């Protein structure tokens, strides 16, 4: 299992069953081999087959080397601008270690094992036709995108992956697999994925996929007279929901009910589980978690506008027909009164969508809100036609 870990320190009174009193900083994302070792490598490398691997966060002046178990250096190469090294001749079957040398920081360099497998007997040969299988509808920013199929170049620099209009570097590949490693140039969201082999000119659209960011941290909340420590998970985008398995990997703590593992539902961007101290427990503890499943949450209705408690609205009365003589000419008059009503008791089922639907009304007591509409016409027909058109 690929656990992400949160480490904390307890400082509990001997008889207390409350949550830890003090805790360490928030947990880092530690999901993929890349984030654990500083390398991105294919999940399977076969003997004598070309492949590409990469180092993450490469510094200027760094060199990547491949050593046998006994420390013999079989290859030493300078990576390209994104940390990739392509081995065109492959390696003999056996266990090797990828190492990093040089750079300006002087920090200790991680070492990554890579087990090159013998060629399988009777294996299915790969073809040159680009046919990618997308194993999931969701990919995390910390792990990146991993795809398999045919028509993939073992030189990862030949492969292009686009998420929408953004190109995500492919850092590792074989003839059967391609990986991006951790993604830093995308925000969480849904993207249309396209793959292209620039060497052969072939391309394939893989459809829309969710790119998410799921993070963990340990929080302390005061409840009554005690403090509760919780494993808190946050997800972006919020409409991707998850079921997560959390486990106490070490230390004198447990989840409610004395459990050492529990399932957490992450909905609308959040999920959490309390962590309780064992009797007389004190010392460090480690909490691990992994994603069991991901799915789209229910579509959220757009927020509706606030419905006013009351609203003034004028309602027209019936037309009155009149006539008068002005300077010897007869003038035909159409007149009606507009009476103000106070609408109230908003119908909440329909009244929050922009056009309010009020369930009750009463006459407005402020007569300044009332008015009279008057129109004059030179003929009776003009007046009658106007009334007909303006009910």
What are 313-360's pLDDT values in tens digits?
A: 777 888 899 888 888 889 899 898 888 877 776 665 544 444 566 667
- C-alpha angle with apex 279: 276 to 283, nearest 5 degrees? 70
Residue 122 has pLDDT above 60, yes or no: yes
Q: CATH number, domain at 47?
A: 2.60.40.1930
Residue identified by tokens 């929408």 is: 164
Nearest CA to 64 out of 73, 77, 81 is that of 77
What are 53-74's pLDDT values in tens digits?
A: 999 888 888 899 999 999 899 9
Pick 273 or 317 by higher pLDDT.
273
Q: CATH number, domain at 194?
A: 2.60.40.10
Residue 237, preceding bond cis, omega within 30 degrees? yes
111 within a domain of the structure (yes/no): yes
Domain hosting residue 170, numbered range: 131-212
- The answer to whether 315 touches 370, Cβ cutoff 8 Å, is no
Backbone φ, ψ for residue 384 (5° rounding): -65, -35
First to last CA, the chain: 74
- The answer to whether 189 touches 235, Cβ cutoff 8 Å, is no
Among 58, 90, 117, the domain-final residue is 117
- What total of structural domains would you count in the chain? 4
Query: What's the predicted TM-score (pTM) here?
Result: 0.67
In this structure, the answer to whether residues 12 and 42 fall within a common structural domain is no
In this structure, the answer to whether residues 108 and 63 fall within a common structural domain is yes
In this structure, the answer to whether residues 93 and 43 fall within a common structural domain is yes
In this structure, the answer to whether residues 257 and 318 fall within a common structural domain is no
């Amino acid at each position: 299992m690929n656990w992400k870990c949160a480490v904390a320190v307890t400082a509990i009174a001997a008889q207390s069953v409350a949550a830890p009193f003090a805790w360490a900083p928030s947990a880092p994302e530690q999901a993929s081999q890349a984030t654990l070792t500083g390398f991105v490598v294919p999940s399977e490398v076969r003997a004598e087959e070309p492949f590409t691997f990469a180092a993450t966060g490469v510094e200027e002046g760094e060199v990547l080397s491949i050593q046998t178990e006994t420390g013999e250096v079989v290859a030493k190469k300078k990576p390209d601008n994104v940390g990739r090294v392509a081995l065109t001749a492959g390696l003999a079957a056996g266990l090797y270690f990828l190492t990093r040398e040089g750079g300006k920081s002087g920090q200790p360099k991680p070492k990554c094992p890579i087990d090159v497998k013998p060629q399988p007997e009777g294996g299915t040969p790969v073809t040159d036709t680009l046919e990618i299988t997308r194993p999931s509808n969701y990919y995390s920013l910390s792990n990146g995108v991993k795809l398999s199929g045919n028509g993939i170049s073992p030189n990862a620099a030949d492969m292009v992956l686009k998420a929408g209009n953004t190109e995500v570097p492919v850092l590792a590949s074989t003839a059967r697999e391609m990986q991006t490693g951790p993604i830093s140039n995308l925000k969480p969201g849904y993207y249309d994925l396209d793959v292209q082999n620039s060497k052969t000119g072939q391309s394939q659209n893989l459809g829309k996929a969710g790119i998410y960011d799921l993070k963990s941290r340990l929080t302390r909340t005061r409840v009554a007279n005690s403090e509760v420590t919780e494993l808190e998970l946050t997800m972006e985008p919020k409409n991707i929901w998850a079921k997560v398995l959390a486990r106490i990997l070490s230390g004198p703590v447990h989840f409610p009910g004395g459990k050492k593992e529990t399932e957490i539902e992450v909905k609308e961007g959040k999920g959490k589980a309390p962590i309780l101290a064992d009797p007389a427990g004190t010392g460090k503890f480690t909490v691990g978690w992994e994603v069991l499943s991901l799915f789209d949450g229910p579509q959220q209705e757009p927020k509706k506008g606030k419905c006013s408690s009351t609203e003034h609205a004028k309602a027209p009365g019936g037309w009155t027909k009149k006539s008068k003589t002005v300077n010897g000419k007869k003038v035909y008059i159409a007149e009606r009164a507009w009476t103000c009503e106070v609408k109230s008791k908003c119908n909440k089922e329909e009244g929050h969508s922009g056009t309010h639907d009020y369930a009750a009304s009463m006459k407005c007591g402020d007569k300044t809100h009332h008015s009279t509409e008057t129109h004059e016409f030179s003929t009776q027909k003009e007046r009658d036609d106007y009334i007909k058109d303006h009910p």
